[in-house]
Structure 1
Amino acid sequence: MRSLVLNRFFTQYIFKELINMNMNSVYKTIINDYVKDSDKKSNSEIIKDIYSYMLKYYRNEYIYQNTIINKLLLGKHSLNTTTALTQIPISKSKADFILINGKAVVYEIKSELDTLERLDKQIKDYYKAFKYVTVISCEENFNKLYDLYGNTKVGISIFTKRNTISNRQAPICEENYLDYKVIYDVLNKKEIDEILLNYYKKLPTVSIVFYYKVCYELFKQIPMNVLYTMFLKQLKKRNKIDENIFSKIPYELKSLIYFAKISSKDILKLEKFLNSNYGG
């Protein structure tokens, strides 16, 4: 299917190539197939055209993720108080999107291009590390989702045909399945050390061979209600981005740049690329 090439476009690899002025074959192919009068347009205009096409005809995971960034992170919250995470391994699943402010909500994206086949297993995995889970999907899937999760603690949101996010069922706190080991594995070593240091006021002095095991034994002795707050505090420190820089990023690229962790130098390169004409 020719449109599958669109899945490859809004990725960090492609954009790093483009901002370094290495014209990319995926970009060329998409322009040839989906953009009219490209020689007369800037790269910024072309990207808007590609995004508009996908918004109408090919709403893949990136379109959903970018909409959540724009409508929820930026529209309802702020970069100063809220952190977004993506592709976080939780047990045997990967969370598409997590939004953390006063609480943390896992958003499992099921676009028009996805099936609901693994959804129940994914939700069960997410509840091992987070208290709130919402499934976000298209209008066509609402009845299926309501049959599965209506009047449960799982939230249901719909990415409407008007490209808004409609909250049809708010997620309710579920803390019965929180699992020490799953939470432990979400964190990196620095974050684990900070939690243990904050709680015990010192770190274990054992050889590196036994360090992981000893840390976990200490970790699981922290009361879950205390630990969960510390867990979210650590995750909120991830993905910090300068609000002034981010405000200059076009709507279509917000999600891509938010998760890219690119430098100020790369932002300047991006601006130069966007402002330049595709046709030279």
Structure 2
Amino acid sequence: MDYSALARSYNTLSYTNQLRDLLAAFFQTDKYKDCNKFELAKTVNDAVFKNYDGEQILKYRLAKEFVTKKYVAAFEVKAKTSRTDFLVINGDTKSFEVKSKIDTLNRLKKQVEDYGDVFEYNTVVIDKTHLEKVIELIPDYYGVWYYEKLKKVVYREAKYSPKINAAEQLTLMNKKELQKYFGSTNNEQILKNCNAAQINNTLKQALKDRYDKRWSFVQTNWNSILPIDLQFFFNTNVKPEIIYGN
């Protein structure tokens, strides 16, 4: 069975009857006709997580690593022309780029360059099938994780990026954030007035402030959120009972 089709067809905002139709068509059965929305969504979630090797499985495992720790975390954070899959911020910034079994590595070289310019510690989280090729593509300061069943394997620890660039870090902040933290939206002027360490530390504070509320919501509601819906709830902060209750 093509569980990738099930994963692609699922939508957190689908109505109960739409989920019933989806499961009936996929599994060729009517046994879900009396299930409520949460039960239907959980059926999709369980089937996808058991049989599919897509990126949402690795993203969920990453989030689970940090949900009880004193970090602020975020999904899909823009960095130059790339977008890191998962970022955690506290005393340092840690980016994680996910490459699942079904992902290609075509953009990885550009992605690792972008993240290395702006984040302190950077790791690629992969399906083990990519290991040999990934090692060829990434610089030595990058970490590599993969999972064997549910066990995290740290193949290589991330080292502090030697490529940190203060000018590039400023581009991660919008004008409102630049004005708030530096009193100016002129990047050239900020670079004259502040050293690299000040800019790096300010970026961390800005990112923590930007994502703290959304990540705190995920932490508070973790046990009520299905893994397949995690990024939706991070983005929207809608109460799970509202989504699953209709």
TM-score range, shorter chain: 0.7 to 0.9
Which of 214, 217, 242 matches 2:188? 217
The one-character-per-residue Cα deviations of 1:131-165 (angstroms, maximum 9, x if unpaired) are: 21100011222233334448x111000032x1332
Which of 57, 63, 69 matches 1:69? 63
Q: What's 1:6 paired with?
A: 6
Distance in 1 of aligned mates of 2:121 and 2:9: 31
Matched, 1:157 2:130: no
Seen in structure 2, the aligned counterparts of structure 1 residues 114 and 248 have a Cα distance that, compared at 3 Å, is closer
State whether residues 20 and 40 of structure 2, in contact with CA within 8 Å, keep that contact through their aligned partners in structure 1. no
Distance in 2 of aligned mates of 1:178 and 1:27: 50
Which of 220, 238, 245 matches 2:210? 238
State whether residues 60 and 227 of structure 2, in contact with CA within 8 Å, keep that contact through their aligned partners in structure 1. yes
Seen in structure 2, the aligned counterparts of structure 1 residues 226 and 250 have a Cα distance that, compared at 3 Å, is same
State whether residues 101 and 127 of structure 2, in contact with CA within 8 Å, keep that contact through their aligned partners in structure 1. yes
The one-character-per-residue Cα deviations of 1:3-28 (angstroms, maximum 9, x if unpaired) are: 44334356xxx32x33xx5754x773
State whether residues 157 and 168 of structure 1, in contact with CA within 8 Å, keep that contact through their aligned partners in structure 2. yes
Q: What's 2:242 paired with?
A: 269
Aligned to 1:171, the other structure's residue is in SS state: coil
Q: Give the Å deviation of 1:258.
A: 4.2
Q: Give the Å deviation of 1:260.
A: 2.1
Q: What's 2:21 paired with?
A: 28
Q: Give the Å deviation of 1:238.
A: 2.3
Q: What's 1:185 paired with?
A: 171
Aligned to 2:102, the other structure's residue is in SS state: coil
Q: What's 2:88 paired with?
A: 99
The one-letter code matched in structure 2 to 1:74 is V
State whether residues 4 and 52 of structure 2, in contact with CA within 8 Å, keep that contact through their aligned partners in structure 1. no
State whether residues 35 and 46 of structure 1, in contact with CA within 8 Å, keep that contact through their aligned partners in structure 2. no
Matched, 1:250 2:228: no
Identity fraction in percent: 19
Q: Give the Å deviation of 1:224.
A: 0.7
State whether residues 87 and 95 of structure 1, in contact with CA within 8 Å, keep that contact through their aligned partners in structure 2. yes
Q: Which segment drifts farther, 1-10 or 103-112?
A: 1-10
Q: What's 1:49 paired with?
A: 43
Which of 41, 63, 72 matches 1:83? 72
The one-character-per-residue Cα deviations of 1:98-150 (angstroms, maximum 9, x if unpaired) are: 11122111111100111112211110111111121100011222233334448
Aligned to 1:220, the other structure's residue is in SS state: helix
Q: Work out the number of aligned pairs and report it.
A: 241
Q: What's 1:167 paired with?
A: 154
State whether residues 5 and 30 of structure 1, in contact with CA within 8 Å, keep that contact through their aligned partners in structure 2. no
Paired residues for 1:137-152 under 5 Å: 137-149=126-138, 152=140
Distance in 1 of aligned mates of 2:107 and 2:3: 24
State whether residues 156 and 169 of structure 1, in contact with CA within 8 Å, keep that contact through their aligned partners in structure 2. yes
State whether residues 83 and 238 of structure 1, in contact with CA within 8 Å, keep that contact through their aligned partners in structure 2. no
The one-character-per-residue Cα deviations of 1:179-222 (angstroms, maximum 9, x if unpaired) are: 333222211222211221xxxxxx35xxxxxxx4xx21222121
Give 5+ residue unaligned stretches, structure 1: 197-202, 205-211, 274-280
Seen in structure 2, the aligned counterparts of structure 1 residues 258 and 99 have a Cα distance that, compared at 3 Å, is farther
Distance in 1 of aligned mates of 2:176 and 2:20: 38
Paired residues for 1:110-149 under 5 Å: 110-149=99-138
Q: What's 1:207 paired with?
A: none
Q: Give the Å deviation of 1:226.
A: 1.5
Q: Which segment drifts farther, 87-96 or 123-132?
A: 87-96
Q: Which has the higher contact order (CA 8 A, sep 6+)?
A: 1
State whether residues 138 and 159 of structure 1, in contact with CA within 8 Å, keep that contact through their aligned partners in structure 2. yes
Q: Give the Å deviation of 1:74.
A: 1.8
Runs of 4+ in 1 over 3 A off after TM superposition: 1-10, 21-24, 146-150, 242-245
State whether residues 35 and 49 of structure 1, in contact with CA within 8 Å, keep that contact through their aligned partners in structure 2. no
State whether residues 69 and 254 of structure 1, in contact with CA within 8 Å, keep that contact through their aligned partners in structure 2. no
